[in-house]
Structure 1
Amino acid sequence: MSDTPLRLVIFDVDGTLVDSQSDILGAMHLAFSNEGLPTPPRAEVLGVVGLSLDVLMPQLAPDADSAALARLVQGYKDAYMSLRAQQGGAISSPFYPGARDALAALHAQPDILLGVATGKSKRGLDKLIEAHGLEGMFVTQQVADFHPSKPHPSMILQALSDTGVDAENAVMLGDTSFDMEMAQAAGVTGIGVSWGYHTAAQLTAAKHRIDSFDALPALLDTIWKV
């Protein structure tokens, strides 16, 4: 029997594992156009990626009433599904360089479990997992349907509960300040990635930062002192 404790690597999805900004920006444009509103600037949209739709939409449309916000949320969901269906999820949300190899290498280690904590809906995550052939990869999948929006720690706390992994043996990879603040609030080590939708300067709550997936194995060894 190994003396190594069970460990958990939790991934954000959009901006961390896959680059879905084309569909995100396209769907947001369609949702706002259908409501007769100007589309928010690209930087504003990408700046709120990771938040749940009911939290981010009032930030993008602060003057909209509750009915209009509900239409914007539904319009975004419908448009996102339509755009994804046109190309297929593997093309519309491609992996970042090294992401698939990193997942496969971690998944092959018996003492490491993988999880997801995302602002996506369960339906959206399921479609992405299917598109990329990731069935069975993530033992815990936390989505916006069942939790308060990031940076509330609920997603990570549930992932720890699901897996029985102690907080000190878990890390959270993400590209936004919301991911890193969520990790900090849950008492797990936050690893910020530089290739996503927030700048490095915004990831102030991160314990560590990496510029490529190639740097992840050595960093995990350092964190867990393997």
Structure 2
Amino acid sequence: MTVRMKPYSLLIFDWDGTLMDSAAHITQCMRNAIAVVGAEPRTDAQIRHIIGLGLDEAIQHLYSNLSPSRIREIADEYRQEFLVRTTHGSELFSGARATLYTLAEQGYTLAVATGKSRRGLDKVLDETGLRELFPITRCADETRSKPHPQMLEEILTDCDTRKHDALMIGDSEYDLQMALNIGMDSLAVSYGVHGLEHLRQHQPRGHVDDVTHIPGWLAAQKGYT
């Protein structure tokens, strides 16, 4: 039995609520979009709960009885709010940037699996200057939305990595259920949109209360081949 130097070779991050403190921004953009189209208002708690899903799937969760055309109306207005009308974005969680560079320097391959659109992810990657750290990314509008495991399957294929050598890191039930659906280990972060007790129902390997604790958690894991 050989001890591995690292417990995983590939770390797959969710974006919103895991690396970026964007829940308030997303919630406001959705509230504005709902108001523009004149749909029945939803509470901040209801909107926060669907963060992590693809945009169409998120709106369907909020409005199960709306027609596809009305869902598209809200989605189009949300894109305008997020990509065009909003002049200020969200900030990375404190310590996230340094943590990501530390993990890259330690030899981990980093990837992103997000409910954001490709335009949305490209926007924040450019704004944060972190594009170089993530050679592989997947978005909900170019594959299946979480919790379907297709985006993880595609990342594993692109990285030529086995699922047992990868770890999904996220703040929502959709992240952890996606990993569970493919048989991949997951790490819950408790500072995002879903509470820790809720996240534990989806069988994460562990949890951290701060993004800066991720390298320490990884160092404490024992991996064997």
Q: TM-score, normalised by structure 2?
A: 0.91
Q: How does 1:89-108 map to 2 (within 5 A)?
A: 92-108=89-105
The CA deviation at 1:171 is: 0.5
SS in structure 2 of the partner of residue 192 of structure 1: strand
| Separation in structure 2 between the aligned mates of residue 185 and residue 63 of structure 1, nearest angstrom | 27
The CA deviation at 1:61 is: 1.9
| Separation in structure 2 between the aligned mates of residue 148 and residue 64 of structure 1, nearest angstrom | 21
Instruction: Name the aligned partner's letter for residue 96 of structure 2.
Output: A
Corresponding position: 1:196 with 2:198: no
| Separation in structure 2 between the aligned mates of residue 224 and residue 146 of structure 1, nearest angstrom | 35
| Separation in structure 2 between the aligned mates of residue 222 and residue 184 of structure 1, nearest angstrom | 22
The partner residue of 1:176 within 161, 168, 172 is: 172
The partner residue of 1:69 within 68, 71, 77 is: 71
| Separation in structure 1 between the aligned mates of residue 85 and residue 208 of structure 2, nearest angstrom | 31
Q: Specify the alignment match of 2:162 in structure 1.
A: 166
| Separation in structure 2 between the aligned mates of residue 221 and residue 186 of structure 1, nearest angstrom | 24
Instruction: Name the aligned partner's letter for residue 160 of structure 1.
Output: L
| Separation in structure 2 between the aligned mates of residue 159 and residue 194 of structure 1, nearest angstrom | 24
Q: Specify the alignment match of 1:209 in structure 2.
A: 207
Q: Specify the alignment match of 1:17 in structure 2.
A: 19
The farther-off stretch of 189-198 and 210-219 is: 210-219
| Separation in structure 2 between the aligned mates of residue 224 and residue 213 of structure 1, nearest angstrom | 20
| Separation in structure 1 between the aligned mates of residue 23 and residue 181 of structure 2, nearest angstrom | 27
Residues 167-200 of structure 1, C-alpha deviation per residue, up to 9 Å, x if partnerless?
A: 1111011000000011111221110001000011
The CA deviation at 1:108 is: 1.4
The CA deviation at 1:21 is: 1.9
Instruction: Name the aligned partner's letter for residue 169 of structure 1.
Output: D
Maintained 8 Å contact 1:169/1:224: no
Maintained 8 Å contact 2:23/2:51: no
RMSD across aligned positions (CA): 1.7
| Separation in structure 2 between the aligned mates of residue 189 and residue 117 of structure 1, nearest angstrom | 14
The farther-off stretch of 101-110 and 59-68 is: 59-68
SS in structure 1 of the partner of residue 168 of structure 2: strand
The change in CA–CA distance for 1:11 and 1:19 in structure 2 (over 3 A counts) is same
| Separation in structure 2 between the aligned mates of residue 224 and residue 117 of structure 1, nearest angstrom | 25
Q: TM-score, normalised by structure 1?
A: 0.91
The partner residue of 1:144 within 106, 127, 140 is: 140
Percent sequence identity over aligned pairs: 32
Instruction: Name the aligned partner's letter for residue 209 of structure 1.
Output: H
SS in structure 2 of the partner of residue 146 of structure 1: coil
The CA deviation at 1:23 is: 2.1
Unaligned runs of 5+ in 1: none
List, as ranges, runs of 4+ consecutive aligned residues in structure 1 with deviation greater than 6 Å: none
The farther-off stretch of 173-182 and 24-33 is: 24-33
SS in structure 2 of the partner of residue 97 of structure 1: coil
Maintained 8 Å contact 1:27/1:83: no
The CA deviation at 1:213 is: 2.2
The CA deviation at 1:33 is: 0.8
Maintained 8 Å contact 1:47/1:197: yes
The partner residue of 1:57 within 49, 56, 59 is: 59
Instruction: Name the aligned partner's letter for residue 38 of structure 1.
Output: E
Instruction: Name the aligned partner's letter for residue 183 of structure 1.
Output: A
SS in structure 2 of the partner of residue 148 of structure 1: coil
| Separation in structure 1 between the aligned mates of residue 52 and residue 182 of structure 2, nearest angstrom | 17
| Separation in structure 2 between the aligned mates of residue 135 and residue 148 of structure 1, nearest angstrom | 22
The CA deviation at 1:83 is: 4.3
| Separation in structure 1 between the aligned mates of residue 37 and residue 65 of structure 2, nearest angstrom | 13
